[in-house]
């Protein structure tokens, strides 16, 4: 047997038994159990103080220009956020790891190149100083050689002139 409960009202609760067998002849009416209500308590009246209406503070109105400027800045931020570079779009993905490594390597090579270039510039500066010094020394040596060569030439010319004069004197005496 299966018990069925039907509630038509909160006050009336009926319990019916359904049987799988054929209904039996009716006997004396069964009294329905009635749910009892507890007597309702009367609410106690409490006095509450009268509330004064609170004046709500309105935000200060901003001039139209400032408001428009703020709106423009908001729109500009949104546009800037939407126009990300490829690296920014990929920076949190798996693809970004090699790019970051390549970027670091590239930056390191640029730094190394700048270091080498500074060192080469220093060496070139030192070379230029030494070269100029050697060039001046060379000019001094060449000037000295020129003077020696000029002196040698003058000595040779003097000796040749003397020899020529002797030869003429000899020819004049012999003739």
Tell me whether residue 11 is in a domain: no
Cα-to-chain-centroid distance, residue 129? 44
Q: What is the pLDDT of residue 136?
A: 93
Tell me whether residue 58 is in a domain: no
Q: Which two tokens stand for residue 60?
A: 């200060």
Tell me whether residue 149 is in a domain: yes
Nearest to 87 by CA among 78, 98, 77, 76: 98
**Cα separation, 83 vs 80, whole angstroms:** 5
Q: Which two tokens stand for residue 144?
A: 């000295």
Tell me whether residue 135 is in a domain: yes
Q: How many helices (H) and strands (E) does the chain have?
A: 3, 2
Q: What is the pLDDT of residue 173?
A: 86
Domain span at 153: 86-165
Q: What is the pLDDT of residue 154?
A: 93
DSSP 20: S
18, 4 contact by CB (below 8 A): yes
If one counts the domains in the chain, the total is 1
Element (H, E) at 106: helix 96-174
Q: What is the pLDDT of residue 45?
A: 62
Beta bridge partners of 17: 3
Nearest to 163 by CA among 171, 149, 150: 171
Phi, psi of 63 (to 5 degrees): -60, 150
Tell me whether residue 107 is in a domain: yes
Nearest to 3 by CA among 13, 110, 12, 46: 13
Spans of the chain below 50 pLDDT: 1, 6-7, 9-13, 15, 18-19
Tell me whether residue 159 is in a domain: yes
Tell me whether residue 27 is in a domain: no
Tell me whether residue 152 is in a domain: yes
């Amino acid at each position: 047997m299966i018990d069925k409960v039907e509630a038509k009202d909160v006050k009336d609760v009926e319990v019916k038994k359904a049987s799988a067998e054929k209904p039996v002849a009716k006997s004396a009416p069964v009294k329905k159990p009635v749910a009892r209500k507890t007597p309702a308590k009367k609410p106690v009246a409490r006095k509450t103080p009268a509330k004064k209406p609170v004046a709500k503070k309105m935000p200060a109105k901003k001039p139209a220009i400032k408001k428009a400027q703020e709106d423009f800045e908001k729109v500009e931020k949104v546009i800037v956020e939407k126009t990300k570079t490829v690296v920014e779009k990929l920076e949190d993905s798996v693809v970004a790891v090699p790019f970051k490594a390549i970027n670091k390597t590239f930056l390191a090579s640029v730094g190394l190149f700048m270091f080498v270039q500074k060192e080469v510039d220093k060496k070139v500066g030192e070379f230029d100083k030494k070269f100029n010094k050697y060039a001046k020394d060379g000019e001094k040596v060449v000037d000295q050689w020129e003077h020696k060569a000029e002196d040698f030439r003058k000595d040779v010319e003097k000796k040749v002139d003397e020899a020529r004069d002797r030869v003429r004197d000899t020819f004049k005496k012999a003739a």
